[in-house]
Amino acid sequence: MCGIVGYLGKKNTKEILLSGLKELEYRGYDSAGIAVLQNGNFSNYKAVGKLVNLEKKTKNFITNGFAIGIGHTRWATHGKPTELNAHPHIGENSYVVHNGIIENYVEIKKDLKNDGVNFLSQTDTEVIVHLFEKNLKSEKSAFGAFKKTISKLDGAYAILLVTKSENDTIFYAKHGSPMLFGVNAENEKYFASSDTPLIGQCSHVNYFEDGDYGYVSASEIVIFDKNNIKKDAVLSALSENKLSAQKDGFRFFMEKEIYEQGEVISDTLLGRITENEVIFDEIPKDLFDGIKELKLCACGTSYHSALSASYLFERYSKIKTSVEIASEFRYREPIMSKDTLFVVISQSGETADTLETLKMAKNAGLKTLVICNVDNSSMVRLADATILTRAGIEKGVASTKAFATQITVFWMLTLYIAKIKKSLSNKKISRQISLLREVPSVVKVTNEMHEKIKRISKRYLHGHGFFFIGRDIFFPLALEGALKLKEISYLHAEGYPSGEMKHGPIALADPELFTIALLPEHLHFEKSKSNVEELSARDSTICAISAVEFEKADDFIQISKCKDYMLEFFEMMVVVQLLSLEISIRLGNDVDMPRNLAKSVTVE
Ligand code: AGP
């Protein structure tokens, strides 16, 4: 995800900006840049890839005395990760960095182009700097021009802008994307999109509110609120602990990552859906030519997302789909035919077993696609086509947001193929897309929900096992819920199809067997309910998750009423993640680094 830093002071500005950007590296990015203004002259550097490339380019650049600078790490959304698309973006005499999305950039760009403005990048951000320079011609001051500019922007943003016409000032605005400002005893001033770059540099910080805008110079700190009323900075002492700052106040990275899911799913969708169509510019147009079958292959959580996807592909895209566990597929001498698209799914892109299956498919001459969270990973380099999930760096060993974004990509891919194969009408595709748009808000964790799960969790710290049960696409979600729980609580848990319990596992039922029942209102509700009733009749302790009250449950976690089972899927996903988290915390385990596990399994 993108990161922003800014600095006003006398130290070597380049060093300050680069070390600030380094602290934001963990968020993930694919290019970076800085712009420094000193003695009326701009120096600007950009590089694709890791910060070390930018460091090389700026090796001989230093500042002496007072300077101002802005820096950015970009995670491509509008436009590919190229130098031209990297921030800061230039106008005639100004530079801008921006996090978020300017939703009305197409209209603004059109107007500016009609005025003769030449655009260098494909980004939404570039309109800000050109609009500012246009306004500079009619407004009395640079601040007036900046204020007018941000009043025209729709969407979410955190912006820093520097201009030659006020060469000791940084203009800023925050609306929907995080930004803070910090000071220290040496009267240096810093900006950043999260507090980690400021730790060790600043003693006090001011967290901007949505709608805040203003400017900071060597002598002034000016803040206006969303009602254009001037206000004072509220400076609070900054923590000195980097690790806890990276966690943004959450107890564990896993918790933070669960809470981030709305935001990252919005990133996954960004630029890929219109009202009636899914667009994947990154995959070749002819990828599905001659393809009659999909084979999905992965490990762990990624395997569960593949299994979930198989229900969507067969139901909506009407394409035959099979799913394989990579470590099994490798050794079972599988038959591979060239009319099969081989799809591997991996958060890391480095999992040894999955990588090997990709090599096998390539050697057999199959077309290959990888759905991955890490650009430039081994799988991304090897596959014919890639769809990145855009979850940002996932630190918790127990995968959460990576799973959420994989499912989002698969749902989009289902509609993409359905369009090609004409297996769904345009009207149905549009309906599905409107559902997809609701996912970011569906996965938002409410205080009420989290508190309820925290309370309930104390009753599930013992027992002789957990069964997570569900039907249809809720069966892979049950598998995923069970995997989450066992990874971080070390309690025995299994995922089972609800209808399969009576074929054996129900023999285990007693009060010390905990059943976590997924009961979606919009998919096989009655049938799933009877399966849970069978378990309740045998005295298993039931925790039901549903939008519909279920009187046979010992514990009931109510999700919101949704229009469609896929929205129920996403909300239940959050519930099972939080339940595992809270059980693990109560047991005193290290949630982020559970015993015996590694984040990336590069051995077979
Ligand atoms: C999930 O919580 C895991 N820790 C694990 O199952 C993981 O999903 C699996 O190792 C596959 O990793 P990958 O997605 O990076 O390939």
Per-residue model confidence as pLDDT tens digits over 337-371: 999 999 999 999 999 899 999 999 999 999 999 99
Answer whether residue 26 shows pLDDT above 80.
no
* pLDDT reading at 602 higher than 70: no
CATH classification (class only), 253-442: alpha beta
Taking the CA atoms of 359, 402, 559 and 537 in sequence, report the sign of the dihedral they define: positive
pLDDT (0 to 100) of residue 604 = 64
Q: How much is the pLDDT for 101?
A: 83
Confidence of residue 45 (pLDDT cuts 50, 70, 90): very high
Q: 3-246, what's its fold?
A: Glutamine Phosphoribosylpyrophosphate, subunit 1, domain 1 (3.60.20)
Q: Measured between alpha carbons, how far is 439 from 394 in angstroms, rounded to an integer?
A: 20
**Domain ranges in the chain?**
3-246, 253-442, 447-586
Q: Assess if CATH 3.40.50.10490 describes domain 447-586.
A: yes
Same fold, 3-246 and 447-586: no
Instruction: Decide whether any atom of ligand 1 lies within 6 Å of the 351 Cβ.
Output: yes
Cβ contact 45:58 at 8 Å? yes
pLDDT in tens, 500-556: 988 998 889 899 999 999 999 999 999 999 898 989 888 899 999 999 998 889 999
Nearest-angstrom CA–CA distance, 507 and 496: 14
Kindly report the length of the chain.
Answer: 604
Q: What is the pLDDT of residues 294-332, one digit of tens each?
A: 999 999 999 999 999 999 999 999 999 999 999 999 999
Q: Are the beta carbons of 535 and 502 closer than 8 angstroms?
A: no
Looking from the CA of residue 397, the nearest atom of ligand 1 is: 4
Flag whether pLDDT at 117 surpasses 70: yes
Q: Which residue's CA is minimally distant from atom 5 of ligand 1? A: 300
Give the model's pLDDT for residue 1: 63
* Banded model confidence at residue 107, pLDDT cuts 50, 70, 90: very high
Residue 47, token pair as written in the block: 């590089």
Given this model, what pLDDT does residue 243 score? 67
DSSP class of residue 198 equals: G
Q: Give the whole-angstrom CA distance, residue 361 versus residue 397.
A: 28
Q: What letter does residue 567 receive in the DSSP assignment?
A: H
Give the Å distance between the CA of 373 and the centre of ligand 1: 12
pLDDT at 474: 98
Ligand 1 neighbour 399 (Cβ under 6 A): yes
Which residue is it, tokens 């509609």? Answer: 415
Residue 194's pLDDT band (boundaries 50, 70, 90)? confident
Catalytic residue among 10, 362, 421, 599: 599
Q: Is the CB of 398 under 6 A from ligand 1?
A: yes
Residue 168 confidence (pLDDT) above 90: yes
- Indicate whether 77 pLDDT > 90: no
Tokens of 25: 């590296």
The HSE-up count of residue 390 (CA atoms within 13 Å, CB side) is 21
Whether pLDDT at 28 is above 80? no
User: What per-residue confidence (pLDDT) applies to 242?
Assistant: 67
Residue 176's pLDDT band, with cuts at 50, 70 and 90, is confident
Centroid of ligand 1 to alpha carbon of 25 (angstroms)? 22
Q: At residue 406, does pLDDT exceed 80?
A: yes
pLDDT (average), residues 243-260? 87
Please say if 2 is a catalytic residue: yes
The reported pLDDT for the residue numbered 599 is 76
Ligand 1 pocket residue status of 389, Cβ below 6 Å: no
Residue 76: the pLDDT is: 76
Angle between helices 401-421 and 565-586 (to 10 degrees): 160
The atom of ligand 1 lying closest to the CA of 400 is 2
CB atoms within 10 A of CB 533: 14
pLDDT of residue 17: 96
* Percent residues over pLDDT 90 in the chain: 78
The phi and psi torsions of 247 (rounded to 5 degrees) equal: -85, 0
Q: Which of 400-409, 471-480, 590-599 comes out lowest in average pLDDT? A: 590-599
Pocket test for ligand 1, best of 303, 389, 399 (most atoms within 8 A of CB): 399
Question: Mean pLDDT score of the chain, rounded to an integer?
Answer: 93
597 pLDDT exceeds 90? no
Look up the pTM and report it: 0.76
